[in-house]
Amino acid sequence: MNTNTNPQTSTALMRDGSGAMFDRIAARYDLLNRLMSLGLDARWRNRLVRCLSDAADKAVAAGQRLEFLDVATGTADVALAIARAYPGAHVIGLDPSREMLAVGKKKVGERGLDEHVELVEGDAQALPFEDGRFAATSISFGIRNVPNRLLGLKEMARVTRRGGLVVVLELNEPERGPLAPLAKLHVHHIVPRLGAWLSGAKEYRYLQTSIAAFPSPETFAGMMEAVGLHVEGMTSLGFGSAHLYVARA
Ligand SMILES: C[S@@+](CC[C@H](N)C(=O)[O-])C[C@H]1O[C@@H](n2cnc3c(N)ncnc32)[C@H](O)[C@@H]1O
């Protein structure tokens, strides 16, 4: 039973990390991302995209249709980067936030990629695709927001072709290394303040709390293994404040 009688608090709780929460910040999401990550986010996404080349080569060699799925695609940066890197590929970006997708659709149109990038509304926990459809699936800065992460990973593994790749880019609490305290300071104090100041929304405080609550890289890699994926690589980025996980389906 929900005993929370404060409508403001219960709404906030319901929306934390959800598509509805992202609807409210969609218009400024791209700018905020660039500022908060000091421009590193774009570099990290490109790194994710380069990791997919093995899956792309395999699909082409086997004469299979080259299709990628980007889960929690938001404003479609990864979907667009995949389409640019692998000409001829069909990329589906999925997200529950209509407003994030609307920003993404505009970008797809502006770059003349409508025929290659399709954006659909949906939930990572119930992907509306058949088993083994995609050469590779990706999720960047999104798995943290999925309420049942194991189910989200299981779904990504299910829709990925056997031998294909599941690639996850995600922030985490920076714990190790000489610059970890600096990265921690950035995540805990600068990011939420900058976010709240620039967006006028309290939602960016959620970023800090959700990063702190995210499992350690080793535990998260274990979750990927638990759904039947084989983790082949785990790369620390941004002084340990993010990791890129590459797993074989
Ligand atoms: C921080 S944004 C990341 C967007 C994009 N992938 C990027 O790299 O910028 C997180 C995204 O997760 C989406 N999201 C929230 N809950 C989700 C769910 N259950 N399934 C899929 N995506 C979800 C949000 O709507 C939002 O667009």
Q: Kindly indicate the confidence band of residue 2, based on its pLDDT and cuts at 50, 70 and 90.
A: very low
The arithmetic mean of pLDDT across residues 156-170, rounded, is: 97
Per-residue model confidence (pLDDT) at position 36: 79
- Rounded mean pLDDT of 132-161? 97
pLDDT exceeds cutoff 90 at 228: yes
**Maximum Cα–Cα distance for the chain, whole Å?**
59
For 190: left if phi > 0, alpha if psi spans -120 to 50, otherwise beta; the answer is alpha
Confidence of residue 204 (pLDDT cuts 50, 70, 90): low
Q: What is the DSSP letter of 186?
A: I
Residue 220 Cβ contacting ligand 1 at under 6 Å? no
pLDDT of residue 203: 66
The candidate with the shortest Cα–Cα distance to 138, out of 92, 176, 204, is 92
Q: Cα dist. 147→53, 203, 233 in Å?
A: 30, 17, 25
Long-range contact set of residues 150-154: C-beta below 8 Å, sequence gap at least 24: 150/223, 150/226, 150/227, 151/124, 151/125, 152/71, 152/124, 152/125, 153/223, 153/224, 153/227, 153/229, 154/227, 154/228
- Return the domain boundaries, the chain: 15-171+221-248
141: left (phi over 0), alpha (psi -120 to 50) or beta: left
The mean pLDDT of 180-207, rounded to a whole number, is 71
CATH of domain 15-171+221-248: 3.40.50.150
Cβ(26) to ligand 1 under 6 A?
A: no
**Residue 174: what pLDDT?**
82
Task: Indicate if ligand 1 lies below 6 Å from the C-beta of 19.
Answer: yes
Amino acid identity, position 38: L
Higher pLDDT, 174 or 48: 48
| More confidently predicted of 4 and 55 | 55
Kindly report the pTM of this predicted structure: 0.90
**Percent of the chain at pLDDT exceeding 90:** 65
CA of 87 to the centre of ligand 1 (A): 25
74 close to ligand 1 (CB < 6 Angstrom): yes
Per-residue pLDDT band at 1 (split at 50, 70, 90): very low
User: How would residue 9 be classed by pLDDT, with cut points 50, 70 and 90?
Assistant: very low
pLDDT of residue 201: 57
